[in-house]
Structure 1
Amino acid sequence: MEVKKGNAWTSLMRALKMLMKDSPLLIPCTFVMAAFEAASPYINILISAEIVTELTLPNRDIKHLFFLAIVMAVANCVVGLLLAFLYQFQDVLKYRQMKIIDGKVAEKSWQMDYETVCDPKVHEKANIIPHWGYDHGVLALVKQISEILSALFTIAISVVLVVEFFSLKTTEGGTLSQALNHWLSPVVFLTLFGLSAYHNIWAAAKTQKVRYQTDNDVEQPFNQVVDIFESCCAEYQRGKDLRMFCAQGMVRSHLLMLFDKLATLQTTAQKYAKKMILVSFISTRAFHLFTYIFVGLKALYGAFGAGSLLKYTGMVEQMSNGIGRMCNAIREVWQNIHYIDDYFAYQDLENRTSTGTKPITEDILNDYVFEFRNVTFTYPGTETPSLTNINCVLKKEEKVAIVGRNGSGKTTFIKLLCRLYDPQEGTILLNGTDIREYRYEDYLKFFSTVFQDFCIFALQLGENVASESVYNEKDVICALENAGFKERLKTLSDGLHTQLYKYFYDDGVELSGGEKQKVAIARCLYKDAPYAILDEPTAALDPVAEADIYQRMNQFIEGKGAIYISHRLSSCHFCHRIMVFENGQLVETGTHEELLATTGLYHRLWHAQAKYYQS
């Protein structure tokens, strides 16, 4: 799925509106801060110029000199303290805004349907955006706005001094003096100023385009891969395999190879950037040199004295500095717009799964029939169908076992039934109605599931079972006991409030594979949905524990429909019907006895497994 971008200007306006809405004080704070930053150097320039002028007078006033020095010191202290406060206040506001953005990204991920979340491009963006911090995206825009405003204020103050500068005429005669007073001199000055600014912006735009391309096409995917490899080394759960198989060297070699590849690509980008920086440097310094010469000549021909010379050379320095900072900030905004656009493109992603409007009523919950009618499904980004022309019926109170070799389409069948994906061909019906017509949220509540790749969260045990923070403790304990977790629960001093895993707490409890599977089954039982689906629910349990779990499950879901997927064919005994998948097709269906009476795939799988138990 392509993460479509919008108009860059529109994204920029959206970012500003978002900042004003989420953090109303952030932009005003930045504006005031930029004004003080711009004014700060002119305090020294203007007052120092007055001091020098006073010193050059034959009858200089010592009291006035002391007064100017005190004013300069006090003004610097006041502005410095104000800026320190504003910097700190802005940092607090930016941190809050960063957490708001992280929350919006997480919320968007939660709201996405499963098919969209599983898309590699979407997944990449979801992982990268929270790592931008203050360097890219909406928050980086705050710094860039501050730089642009500060530069504009600096240039504005300089323009006032420029007007004053050109209003002062040379008093000594000569052709050069007349040329300095000519009306074309400010035109030449403004032309050179414009050319310098244009070259800076042009070079910045070219440089940032190459940098963004390198960052987006190479560096971001690279960082994602590095995170994966580094997690292999850092996560304690993977540490056993890493050390037992001495795999550190293998991981290190992959990282070094990736670093070398990135370094080569970055070197190419840096060479191009150096050329553009050289263009910018020459243009800025040429303007700088011309202005210094111009100011020096006007002073030489009597337009102003030594104090004003200091003031106007300071003006040149600040104007040049303002141009440089503004061009640099515009360059950064130019690059950052791409990141802002990426953020809003992610936020604007639409779910592929239609929500439907039809409610699931009590009548449907009490009496239901699912039907797969000519269903074919191919995973996005692949060409070979995972399921082909599936036709079957699933009834209430019917226990169905689904068996088949690895990759035969068993789990895909379940994902389609649960509407984690929608089929490209055919229809899945619930009581004769296409399941896409039902409200998506209502439909998901229809199922209690245990997937083979289930997730146990680093939260409290009770929260893992109930999937919510406030729950009925008696019901949770009942679900855990029915899942075979009773004896283990007795050993936990904090009971349902036991923290699982050591990610957040040193005293977090580690569960074995079988114990985690029991917690996942307890979660399924606690939900108490009309239809239960267990995909390899007992793979980590021993045969005795497995038999006990199945017996308890059958009692607990009496009167409900259920699907069991298991490589241990012993689970098929208590099922009403068995469906056999092979290469994405439903090749056999029937009872255990009926299928054993044939010489089909189920017959071969059963006897292959029985042979090892008998021997």
Structure 2
Amino acid sequence: MSITSKAGTAENTKQTPAHSLGQNITYMISLAWRQRRSVIGLTLIMAAAAILLSLTQLFIVPSILGAVEAKVSVAELSVIILLFTGALIFLSAAQAYLASCAQFGRIEVRLTIGAMIQNKVLTMSYPDIEDPNVRKKMDKASMLVTSNSAATEAIWTTLMNLLKNSVEFIVFLSLLAALNPFMLLAVLVTAIVSFLVSNYLNGWGYRHRDEESEYSRHMNYLSESSRDYTLAKDIRIFGMGSWIEDVYNSMLRLYRSFIARGERIYIWGNIIDVLLSFMRNGIVYLFLIGAVIKGEMSAAQFVLYFNTVNVFTSGIGKILTGLSVLRKQSLDISAVREFLDYPETFKMEEGIPITPDLHIPYQIELRDVSFRYPGAEKDTLTHINLMIRPGEKLAIVGLNGAGKTTLVKLICGFLDPTDGKVLLNNTDIRTYNRRDYYRLFSAVFQDFSVLDVTIAENIAQTDENINTDMMKRCIGQAGLMEKIDSLPDGVNTHLGKVFEDGINLSGGELQRLMLARALYKNAPIIVLDEPTSALDPIAESEIYNKYSELTDGRMAIYISHRLASTRFCDRIILIAEGSIDEEGTHDELIARKGHYADLFEIQGRYYRKG
């Protein structure tokens, strides 16, 4: 495990976003309007309350000072103070209450987008799931809905602040319009220059975010690996603890160096901001004090205008900062939309519908099929011609890397051929509704999915409307009833260690659980893609024979690297170098004394005495 600094990642390739700033704002407003309209209303009300609070804070001291200068009575002065105090308390409380109320709606909108991303992930075309570029888009979109600070939620705060600051800018500009134009110009120039310089220097971290992300990703991986209980035995047996710690510390030193570089840049940003603020305040003080000395301005007006200049100046910076933040948030929202709008490779909803029927004789044909993975130099499969007849039990065997799993993916419709056709009852499967096509299959793959949910949910693959009688019948047929009856919660026992009452099943028990799941789906076509590779040959043979017995009469496709396990099949094809090298029954292939017979003999030697 070697980790190097990715200094070259500091420069980011500039790409035009798929959606403009205005389009992304409109998208979020439209989504909120459909999902939770209160988000829009509360944003406007909160902006209005913030404006009123800011104006109240601006006028409170000048108003009291003006009343003192006018020598009003104590009673009148008390009323003025009470009115302003009451307004401040009311507006502050209203602002806090509205912020609390708004949070729930904003979270709901963000979670809605998260659900849309999750649905896209679960339903998108299979080749896209395997595409590294699409996975990168998927990972980025998923990260952008994980926290309150994510753009999909934080944009409402940004829009509210921009609205507030823009209205305040107009109000304060009108107040300052009567003052010296030179002073107003100086305030504007110093404020804008201060923002631009500080924003550029403080944006160093954003420009180097990929480099920082690289450090964080490696450190998070190492931290997660050290806590992964599946690695605990290896870490102890092979003494990996000190190695992992050394690599982590090495990466931590690089990260500290990165942070130090950033801090030096940020210090210069703060120094320049202080100098420009000192210059701006000096100009304002000189002008306002001069006006007071000349008798052109009262003390109350001095305080009002000086405070107005300060708020006006900070308001300019806030508007420019808000626009910068909004632009970044728009890029994030555009990234989310780019993933959600990613075009489907397969026909999903618009294809020809199919309804699985156990009484229909399904036939699958691969006609001159070739397939090459994106970026590969040669085809994985070449000119495959294969007819799988209704009710036939077909075994696909061959060495690792021969293309067996790719062939199954083509049959199941996970992939489309680079050349040729896959036909279902003489119709190209690309014309079918692909989701309906998947319903024809009940499959168990080598990397089968067992979730940390109940046994019942793992079998039914849902937590709703489970057919309990059918499920128990499938469990019994799979030979797992005795095990489940021995558990305190039966089929409601959780699998895995996420839950306190979770259990782990043995390899053979998991295989029987997968058999029960396959039987429960009750699909007309069964596919087994080396799901028993972790079992010994005898246990594998028993499982395969169990599948054969319980799926009799249906089309079944078996893949195994152990040739003896599939000798019960009607036909066996041997895949070698991307093509069908041999086919026939087990006895026919042995009698032919070709590659199949050679492989069978080689494997058999390992299980003979002596």
**Normalization by structure 2: what TM-score?**
0.88
What's the offset of the Cα at 1:267? 6.3
Match of 2:9 in 1: none
Quick check: 1:294 aligned with 2:287?
Answer: yes
Q: Within 1, Cα distance between the matches of 2:217 and 2:401?
A: 28
Query: Equivalent residue of 1:519, what SS?
Result: helix
Quick check: 1:440 aligned with 2:434?
Answer: yes
2:86 is matched by which residue type in structure 1? V
Quick check: 1:516 aligned with 2:516?
Answer: no
Alignment equivalent of 2:143, drawn from 124, 131, 150: 131
Per-residue displacement from partner, 1:522-572 (whole Å, max 9, x unpaired)? 211211211111011323334444333233222211111111111222212
CA 1:273 to 1:329, structure 2 compared with 1: closer, same or farther past 3 Å?
farther
CA 1:420 to 1:365, structure 2 compared with 1: closer, same or farther past 3 Å?
farther
Q: For 1:56-135, list aligned pairs within 5 A.
A: 56-57=69-70, 59-132=71-144, 133-135=147-149
Q: Within 2, Cα distance between the matches of 1:539 and 1:89?
A: 55
Match of 2:40 in 1: 27
Any gaps of 5 or more consecutive residues in structure 2? 1-14
CA 1:205 to 1:579, structure 2 compared with 1: closer, same or farther past 3 Å?
farther
Aligned residues with identical type, % of pairs: 28
Query: Equivalent residue of 1:7, what SS?
Result: coil
1:71 is matched by which residue type in structure 2? L
CA 1:321 to 1:24, structure 2 compared with 1: closer, same or farther past 3 Å?
same
Quick check: 1:493 aligned with 2:488?
Answer: yes
What's the offset of the Cα at 1:413? 0.8
Alignment equivalent of 2:385, drawn from 384, 391, 394: 391
Match of 1:179 in 2: none
Quick check: 1:534 aligned with 2:547?
Answer: no
Any gaps of 5 or more consecutive residues in structure 1? 167-184
Q: Within 1, Cα distance between the matches of 2:126 and 2:491?
A: 30
What is the aligned-residue RMSD (CA, Å)? 2.9
Match of 1:233 in 2: 226
2:47 is matched by which residue type in structure 1? A
Q: Within 2, Cα distance between the matches of 1:222 and 1:586?
A: 47
Match of 1:141 in 2: 155
What's the offset of the Cα at 1:609? 1.4
Kept in 1: contact 2:398–2:575 (CA 8 A): yes
How many residues matched? Answer: 590
What's the offset of the Cα at 1:6? 1.0
Alignment equivalent of 1:162, drawn from 176, 181, 189: 176
Kept in 2: contact 1:209–1:335 (CA 8 A): no
Per-residue displacement from partner, 1:298-354 (whole Å, max 9, x unpaired)? 222212211221111111111112112222212211222211110111111111123
Alignment equivalent of 1:339, drawn from 332, 337, 340: 332
1:597 is matched by which residue type in structure 2? A
1:141 is matched by which residue type in structure 2? I
Q: Within 2, Cα distance between the matches of 1:220 and 1:345?
A: 21
Deviates more, 1:321-330 or 1:48-57: 48-57
Quick check: 1:585 aligned with 2:579?
Answer: yes
2:42 is matched by which residue type in structure 1? C
CA 1:416 to 1:224, structure 2 compared with 1: closer, same or farther past 3 Å?
farther
Alignment equivalent of 1:461, drawn from 451, 455, 459: 455
1:306 is matched by which residue type in structure 2? A
Q: Within 1, Cα distance between the matches of 2:262 and 2:579?
A: 51
Q: Within 2, Cα distance between the matches of 1:494 and 1:301?
A: 90
Match of 1:482 in 2: 477
Query: Equivalent residue of 1:388, what SS?
Result: strand
Match of 2:11 in 1: none
CA 1:71 to 1:417, structure 2 compared with 1: closer, same or farther past 3 Å?
same
Q: Within 1, Cα distance between the matches of 2:247 and 2:33?
A: 45
**Normalization by structure 1: what TM-score?**
0.88
Kept in 2: contact 1:218–1:262 (CA 8 A): no
CA 1:338 to 1:508, structure 2 compared with 1: closer, same or farther past 3 Å?
same
What's the offset of the Cα at 1:602? 1.6
What's the offset of the Cα at 1:613? 0.9
Quick check: 1:16 aligned with 2:10?
Answer: no
Q: Within 1, Cα distance between the matches of 2:578 and 2:198?
A: 54
What's the offset of the Cα at 1:161? 2.4
Per-residue displacement from partner, 1:144-181 (whole Å, max 9, x unpaired)? 11221232233233224224x53xxxxxxxxxxxxxxx
Match of 1:171 in 2: none
CA 1:295 to 1:514, structure 2 compared with 1: closer, same or farther past 3 Å?
farther
Per-residue displacement from partner, 1:199-247 (whole Å, max 9, x unpaired)? 46655775687655533x4445665555444332333344333333332
Deviates more, 1:360-369 or 1:482-491: 360-369
Kept in 2: contact 1:29–1:90 (CA 8 A): yes
Match of 1:373 in 2: 367
Deviates more, 1:138-147 or 1:342-351: 138-147
Kept in 2: contact 1:360–1:439 (CA 8 A): yes
Kept in 1: contact 2:141–2:336 (CA 8 A): yes
Deviates more, 1:465-474 or 1:445-454: 465-474
2:408 is matched by which residue type in structure 1? I
